Amino acid sequence: MIVGNGPVADNAAALIDAADLVIRFNGSRNFGVAGQRTDVVALCNTGRPAAAMLADPVWRDSEAVRAASEIWSVRHPQKFAELQAALAVSHPELDDFCDDYTQEFAAFAAARGKGYRVISPAVHEAVDAALAEHQAEAYVVPSSGMVVVAAVLSDTAHANDNVVLAGFSHVGWDGHPFEAEKRLIESYIAAGRLTRLQPVSASSLSQGA
C-alpha cells in the first residue's frame, strides 16, 4: 500500500492497516484518517522540506516516523548535483532546491534503529523517460510519489505483490508534472500493474469482508 498525502476514501484506514507493507510520505498528513500502520516513510531529502523535517521535533517524533522500520530518501544526491547547474539558470528562485541532506537522514535513521535506503538515480531517470511518453508538461522533477511507485514496480522483490495506491490526488507543487503523472499511473493501472484503493461499505467491514 503506497499512501499519498491526499484525500482517501471512506473506510480507507482499515483497508490500509490490513496491508502487508505501508509506505507513507514526508509528514504523513493524513495519518489516522488513512490508517496508522507505517512500515516505510519515504521523504524528500533535499531543499527546504528536508531541512524543515530534520529540524522539527514534531516530525522526528511523529507516530508515523516512530512506527516505520525504514526511511527512504527519494532524491539521489548524484542526480540532484547534476541538476543543480541547469536549475540555477531555469529556476534561480530554487537556489536551495538541491541542497542535500541524505547523510543527515541516514544518521537519523541509524540513531533510531531504522533501515535506510536512497532510491537509485536510474529510477528517477526511468520516470523522466516514461513521463516523456505521456507528453509531460514542463517540470522540475517528478513527485516523490511517482518515484516511489516506480521504485516499487521495478523491484523484483515486489514482482508478485498487489500494489495499491491511496491518497494520490495528483495535485500540488507546480514543479511536478501531475497531469502527466496521472496519465502514467492510469497506464500502469490499465496494464494491471497497480490498483487504486476502492472503498467498501461499513456493513461489509463489520461482516469481515
pLDDT digits over 59-74, tens only? 999 999 999 999 999 9
Residue 29, pLDDT > 90, answer yes
* Mean pLDDT of the region 139-154: 97
> Residue 24, Cβ neighbours under 10 Å: how many?
31
Helix ranges (DSSP H) in 101-177: 102-111, 121-133, 144-154
Q: Is the pLDDT of residue 203 over 60?
A: no
- DSSP strand pairing (164-166 vs 195-196): parallel
- 204, three cell numbers: 461489509
Tell me the average pLDDT across 17-38: 96
Quote the percentage of the chain above a pLDDT of 70: 95
Residues 6+ apart with CB under 8 A from 179: 137, 170
Which neighbouring-strand residues pair with 71?
41, 116
Q: Which three cell numbers stand for residue 192?
A: 494491471
The pLDDT-based confidence of 10 (bands split at 50, 70, 90) is confident
85 burial level (CB within 10 Å; 0-12, 13-18, 19+): exposed
Q: What does the alpha-carbon distance between residue 144 and residue 42 come to, in Å, rounded to a whole number?
A: 8
Share of the chain above pLDDT 90, in %: 90
**pLDDT tens for each residue of 40-53:** 999 999 999 999 99
Res 200: pLDDT: 54
What pLDDT, in 10s, does the model give residues 156-201?
988 889 999 999 999 999 999 999 999 999 999 999 999 999 765 4
What pLDDT does 21 receive? 97
pLDDT digits (tens, 9 = 90+) for 98-125: 999 999 999 999 999 999 999 999 999 9
Residue 206 has pLDDT above 70, yes or no: no
